[in-house]
Copies of this chain bind each other. A is one copy, B any other.
Amino acid sequence: MNPKIEKLIKQFAKLPRVGNRAARRIVLGLLQDKTGRIDKLIDALTDARENVCPCPNCGILTDRTNGMCEYCRDATRANGMLCIVRDLSDVWTLEKSGVFSGRYHILGGMLSGVAGVTPEDLNLKSLQKRIADEKIQEIIFALPNTVEGKTTQQYIISTLTNTNVQFTELASGVPLGGDLDYIDDGTLSLAFGGRRAI
């Protein structure tokens, strides 16, 4: 195989959710395409590389020229609620659902002994200042419902004991449309523990 093509396939195969076969298909598609798709892809990549960086306040990826991101600049979002999430894709998910209208704070990971992620690796420095500056009354943890998620949550709460913010977390239980046959014991146990009067 031509080394230039091989190198390009290797770069695509390193992307998440793209295997070797898909990378070959993608590269062939791009190189045989006559509508300039490869130009558009290179342009969009270069533009994002040059101009996108994390918001200095919350960590959401945004235009470098804007300073803070669209959420941190939006005064209507300053409702005293701050939602802590792992990464930007969680923000997109929450925004799509429309359930939250406050501000976000992106950690950029979860504490993990196995993966060697320590508190210094997380975007925590600005948190204390944000609580004061933005008059945060409630911090909602929307982290993965895993051991790492819960550990991270407990750690963050322990660093904020000097504030009188209310801490909340998302409810655990049977998902909408969830069939009990297909639900794991851990979720079932949480759903039973959190049962509500009807």
Residues in chain B near residue A18, CB distance under 8 A: 17-18, 22, 26
Rounded to whole angstroms, the CA-CA distance of A69 and B8 in the bound complex is 18
Rounded to whole angstroms, the CA-CA distance of A14 and B11 in the bound complex is 17
Interface residues on A, range: 35 or more
| Nearest-neighbor residue (CB-CB) of A25 within chain B | B16
* Contact present for A52 and B4 (CB under 8 Å): yes
Nearest CB of B to A26, in Å: 5
Nearest CB of B to A150, in Å: 23
Residues A9-65 near B (CB distance < 8 A): 10-12, 14-18, 22, 24-32, 37-42, 44-49, 51-52, 61-63
Nearest CB of B to A44, in Å: 4
* Contact present for A45 and B44 (CB under 8 Å): no
* B-binding segment of A86-94, A165-173, A176-184, A187-195: A86-94
Residues in chain B near residue A48, CB distance under 8 A: 4-5, 7-8, 27, 30-31, 38
* Contact present for B16 and A47 (CB under 8 Å): no
Residues A76-91 near B (CB distance < 8 A): 87-89
Nearest CB of B to A67, in Å: 13
Q: Does A1 touch B at the CB level, under 8 Å?
A: yes
| Nearest-neighbor residue (CB-CB) of A70 within chain B | B2
Residues in chain B near residue A17, CB distance under 8 A: 18, 22, 25-26
